[in-house]
Amino acid sequence: MNIRHKIAISITASLFFVSQLAHAQWNIPEDSKTLKAPKPVSAESVIAGKALYNTNCASCHGQPGENNAIALSPKPTDLGSSEFQARSTEGSVYFQVSEGMGTMPSFKTSLKDDECWQLAQYIRSFSAEGAVDLSSQSKDLDLRLDLTSKEHKIIAVAYDKGASVEGVKVAFFIKRYFGNLPIGVSKTNANGFAQAQFPTDIPGADTLGTTEVIVKFAEEDLYGKKIITEKVAWGKPFKFINPLDDNHLWASRANTPTWLLLSYLGVVGGVWLTILWVVGQILKIRTYGKWH
C-alpha cells in the first residue's frame, strides 16, 4: 500500500466519521431555548448581526431564505426557511452559534458574546416574532468626498440636509480587476468626517497610476445605498509590457532576436556568396576556353 492509498483511506474514513457526527441531532438544552439576549432586538443589533452573518456564516449557509447553501453533506440549513424558524428561538440560535456541532464550528472563541447574540437576533429577524422594522430607524443620508492629493487621504462627509452627521460607518474601497478592495471602515466624527489612507502599494491602471476610489455607507440598510466613485492618480504607475513586443524566440517575425537574425543571415549569406563565387569560377573557365 503506497502513501496515496493511505491518504485516500484516511480521508474517506474521516469524512465518514464527520458525516456521522453531522447527521447527529442538535441537542439543545431546554433552558438555553428560553434564554433571552441581554439587549432586546433593535435595528442596530440586526444590522450588526447581518454584517457578522455575511463574514462568518454566509460562506456555508448562503443568504437566508434563498436556499443557496454550498453543497456539503449534510447540506447546511437555510437559516431563513420557515422550518428552521419554526423550531428556533433567539436562545436556541445563540446556543447553536456559540457551541457548534459536527461540521458547524463553534463561534464562542472567535466572536464576542454580544456578537453571538447579534447574529442570533439577525437570524431570528426572518421569523414573525423576531422581525424588526428597519425603516423606522433608517434615514437616507448624503455622502460627499474630499480628497487630499498630497497625503492621499480620502475624507468622506456624511450629512443630512446640510448638517453633518456623527457616528456613521463609512466603508472605503479601491476598484480592482475582479472586485473592490476594502481599505477601511471608519465612523464619522463630530464634524461628520470619516477618513481612510490610500495605500502606497496599489498598482494603478495606467502609466499615471489612475485608480478608482469607492466610498459607501457600511450600513446601507440604515443610511441608503449611496456609492461615490472618484478617479485618483495615486496608484503606482503601471506600464503593460507585452512579451510579444520584445525580441524573443516566440515573438513575431518583426521581433526576431538580433543575435539569431544576424547568425542566420550571416551563415546563409556566407554560404550563398561562396556558391556565387563558384558560379563565377565556372564562367571564368568558360571565358578562358574562349580565348585560348
Partner 1 sequence: MAELNREESKRTLHKIVTDLTSPIQKHYGFKPWIFSLLLIIGVGLYAYVTQLQKGLGATNLNDYVSWGLYIAGFIFFVATALIGMLISSVLGLIGVKWIHPIARIAEMIALGFALMAGLVIVFDMGRPDRAHHLFLYGRPQSPIVWDLTVVLTYTAISLLLYILPLIPDMPFLKKTIHNRPKWQQKVYNFLAFNWIGDREQYRILKRSIRVLSILIIPVALAIHTVTSWLFALTPRVGWDSTIFGPYYVTGAFVNGVAAVLIAMYIFRQNFKLKEYLTDFHFERVARLFVLMMLVYLYFNINEYIVPGYKMKKGEDVHLLTLFSGHYSGLFWYTQFTGLLLPIFLLLFKKMRKPVPTAIIGLFVIIAGLLKRLLITVPTLEHPHLPIQNVPESFHSYTPNGIEWAILGMSIGGALLIITILAKLFPVMPIWEIAHDKGVHEDDIKNYDPKEYESNKAIN
For binding to partner 1 (CB under 8 A), which residues are involved? Answer: 249-253, 256-257, 260-261, 264-265, 268, 271-272, 274-275, 277-279, 281-290, 292
> In the bound complex, what is the minimum distance in angstroms from residue 259's beta carbon to partner 1?
11
Tell me which H or E stretch contains 231: strand 227-232
Residue among 137, 124, 114 at smallest CA distance from 221: 137
Helix (H, G, I), strand (E, B) or coil at 123: helix
> How is residue 278 written as a grid cell?
563558384
> How is residue 150 written as a grid cell?
498630497
> In the bound complex, what is the minimum distance in angstroms from residue 5's beta carbon to partner 1?
18
> In the bound complex, what is the minimum distance in angstroms from residue 265's beta carbon to partner 1?
8
| φ, ψ dihedrals at 257, nearest 5° | -60, 140
> In the bound complex, what is the minimum distance in angstroms from residue 2's beta carbon to partner 1?
14
> In the bound complex, what is the minimum distance in angstroms from residue 26's beta carbon to partner 1?
46
Nearer Cβ to partner 1 (239/253): 253
Nearer Cβ to partner 1 (9/260): 260
> In the bound complex, what is the minimum distance in angstroms from residue 7's beta carbon to partner 1?
19
89-103: burial string, b at 16+ Cβ within 10 Å, e else: bbbbbbbbbbbebee
Nearer Cβ to partner 1 (16/272): 272
Distance CA 186, CA 166 (A): 11
Nearer Cβ to partner 1 (190/285): 285
Distance CA 57, CA 69 (A): 10
Nearer Cβ to partner 1 (13/267): 267
Nearer Cβ to partner 1 (225/253): 253
The contacts of residue 231 (CB under 8 Å, 6+ apart) are: 210, 211, 212, 213
Distance CA 105, CA 63 (A): 18
Nearer Cβ to partner 1 (131/261): 261
Distance CA 291, CA 284 (A): 11
> In the bound complex, what is the minimum distance in angstroms from residue 257's beta carbon to partner 1?
7
Q: Distance from first CA to last CA of the chain, Å, rounded? A: 92
Nearer Cβ to partner 1 (40/280): 280
> In the bound complex, what is the minimum distance in angstroms from residue 17's beta carbon to partner 1?
34
Residue with cell 474601497: 173
The alpha-helical segments, DSSP class H, found in 172-247 are: 220-223
Roughly what angle, to the nearest 10 degrees, separates helices 113-124 and 43-56? 100
Residue with cell 472605503: 172
